[in-house]
């Protein structure tokens, strides 16, 4: 199934994609309980079992997920004009709703740069992850705000993200996907100028806060695809577009730190839970390398990198999930509210 959160008449609703419509799974479940289970408390029970907030839906666990699946299968062949038990809509045409971010994780665990020379074992000491905070998250169609004076040149990477469904820590690679509900797209927007700090005194330092966790630097969505629909997360095509032009294409199989490996590594330090999401990186971006003195530095070795300008429109596409599209605008400091 493909889930999202959408807005209709000011209300946020969890929906599941069905052709060119979204199914309100909570209201569909109420209809199922009323008609099939003959439950005279169908409305109240549906609201408890399938919460209206997607993070709460994830936290509720398998009972809620199975109820949503049951509801979807019950109504999927019905006429799209079918109403719920309170005469409310169950089916919403995509063209009449606004899709927003599927949910708002409190943090996104994101990998640092890949390595220029993966065979250099000493450089593996610089492999790390950092946190993108909730304030960075925006949904499909919302603008990426470029503030050139403080942020500098920006670029983006289409990244596969793991949506956590089950709490756990110290998880090995074989078990990590047991804790995953599904997958979505993260557009990892970053400033190449702010990331490239290198050595400060005797310490190597990367400014992930200024360089990769500023406002609107993490568009996510549009769908959360349940893990049963993705056969192998280690082999998915990643595509990057600017203004409709394909500028790069890679595969998760090319990642230095494989999907399961990186997620397992993160669980060593943080308890994975539904309020967190793990973004797994991109194989063709800035890398950790060495300068002429043999000291680690961040390098951009790409041929003709295309940095973003106001007026651009960027698209991230991941096989099996879909496309995430966002415009780029220039942020006017004098007009910030």
Confidence of residue 263 (pLDDT cuts 50, 70, 90): very high
The dihedrals phi and psi of 113, each to the nearest 5 degrees, come to -60, 155
Q: Would you state the structure tokens that stand for residue 197, as one six-digit string? A: 């700090």
Confidence of residue 198 (pLDDT cuts 50, 70, 90): low
| Whole-number average pLDDT of the chain | 93
Beta-bridge partner residues of 75? none
Of the candidates 318, 319, 316, the one whose C-alpha atom is nearest the C-alpha of residue 140 is 316
What are the sequence ranges of the domains in the chain?
A: 2-99, 101-335
Q: What is the mean pLDDT of residues 74-94?
A: 98
CB 167 within 8 A of CB 271: yes
CA distance 66 to 20: 23
**Residue 199 scores a pLDDT above 80:** no
CATH of 101-335, one of 3.40.50.300, 3.40.50.720, 3.40.120.10, 3.90.850.10: 3.90.850.10
CA distance 261 to 90: 40
- Please name the residues in contact with 303: beta carbons below 8 A apart, sequence gap of 6 or more: none
Sheet of 114-115, strand order? 114-115, 287-290, 296-299
* pLDDT digits 0-9 by tens, 107-119: 999 998 888 888 8
CATH 2.30.30.230 is right for the domain spanning 2-99: yes
**Residue 202 scores a pLDDT above 80:** no
CA distance 297 to 290: 5
Report CA 331 to chain centroid distance, whole Å: 24
**Residue 164 scores a pLDDT above 80:** yes
CA distance 215 to 235: 31
- Please name the residues in contact with 19: beta carbons below 8 A apart, sequence gap of 6 or more: none
**Amino acid 197: pLDDT:** 63
Q: What is the mean pLDDT of residues 88-92?
A: 98
* pLDDT digits 0-9 by tens, 272-322: 999 899 999 999 988 888 888 887 788 888 888 889 999 999 999 999 999
- Please name the residues in contact with 43: beta carbons below 8 A apart, sequence gap of 6 or more: 30, 34, 85, 86
Find the range with the poorest average confidence among 81-85, 256-260, 276-280, 294-298.
Answer: 294-298
CB 286 within 8 A of CB 192: yes
CB 148 within 8 A of CB 182: no
* pLDDT digits 0-9 by tens, 13-71: 999 999 999 999 999 999 999 999 999 999 999 999 999 999 999 999 999 999 999 99
**Residue 189 scores a pLDDT above 80:** yes
Fold matches, 2-99 and 101-335: no
Q: What is the mean pLDDT of residues 203-211?
A: 76
Q: What is the mean pLDDT of residues 111-138?
A: 85
Helix (H) or strand (E) holding 75: helix 62-75
Q: Would you state the structure tokens that stand for residue 202, as one six-digit string? A: 């005797």
**Residue 201 scores a pLDDT above 90:** no
**Amino acid 137: pLDDT:** 97
Of the candidates 331, 320, 330, the one whose C-alpha atom is nearest the C-alpha of residue 158 is 320
**Amino acid 116: pLDDT:** 87
**Amino acid 334: pLDDT:** 64
End-to-end CA distance of the chain: 38
Q: Would you state the structure tokens that stand for residue 158, as one six-digit string? A: 């289409």
Of the candidates 210, 221, 155, the one whose C-alpha atom is nearest the C-alpha of residue 188 is 155
């Amino acid at each position: 199934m493909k889930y999202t959160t959408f807005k209709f008449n000011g209300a946020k609703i969890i929906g599941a994609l069905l052709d060119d419509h979204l199914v309100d799974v909570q209201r569909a479940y109420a209809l199922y309980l009323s008609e099939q289970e003959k439950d005279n408390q169908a409305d109240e029970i549906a609201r408890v079992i399938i919460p209206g907030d997607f993070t709460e839906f994830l936290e509720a666990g398998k009972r809620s997920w199975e109820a949503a699946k049951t509801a979807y299968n019950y109504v999927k062949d019905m006429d799209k004009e079918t109403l719920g038990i309170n005469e409310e809509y169950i089916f919403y045409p995509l063209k009449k709703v606004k899709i927003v971010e599927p949910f708002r994780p409190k943090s996104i665990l994101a990998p640092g740069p890949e390595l220029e020379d993966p065979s250099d074992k000493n450089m593996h000491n610089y492999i790390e992850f950092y946190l993108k905070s909730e304030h960075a998250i925006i949904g499909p169609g919302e603008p990426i705000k470029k503030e050139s004076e403080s942020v500098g040149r920006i670029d983006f990477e289409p990244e596969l993200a793991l949506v956590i469904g089950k709490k756990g820590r110290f998880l090995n690679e074989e078990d990590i996907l047991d804790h995953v509900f599904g997958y979505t797209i993260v557009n990892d927007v970053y400033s190449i100028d702010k990331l490239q700090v290198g050595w400060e005194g005797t310490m190597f330092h990367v400014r992930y806060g200024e360089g990769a966790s500023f406002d609107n630097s993490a568009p996510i969505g549009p769908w959360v695809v349940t893990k049963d629909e993705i056969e192998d997360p280690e082999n998915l095509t990643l595509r990057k577009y600017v203004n409709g032009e394909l500028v790069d294409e890679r595969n998760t199989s090319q990642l230095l730190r494989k999907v399961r490996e990186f997620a397992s590594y993160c669980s060593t330090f943080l308890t994975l839970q539904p309020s967190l999401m793990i973004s797994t990186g991109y194989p063709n971006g800035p890398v950790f390398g060495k300068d002429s003195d043999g000291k680690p530095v961040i390098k951009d070795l790409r041929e003709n990198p295309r940095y973003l300008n106001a007026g651009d429109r960027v698209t991230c596409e991941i096989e099996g999930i879909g496309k995430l599209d966002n415009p780029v605008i220039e942020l006017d400091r004098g007009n910030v509210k």
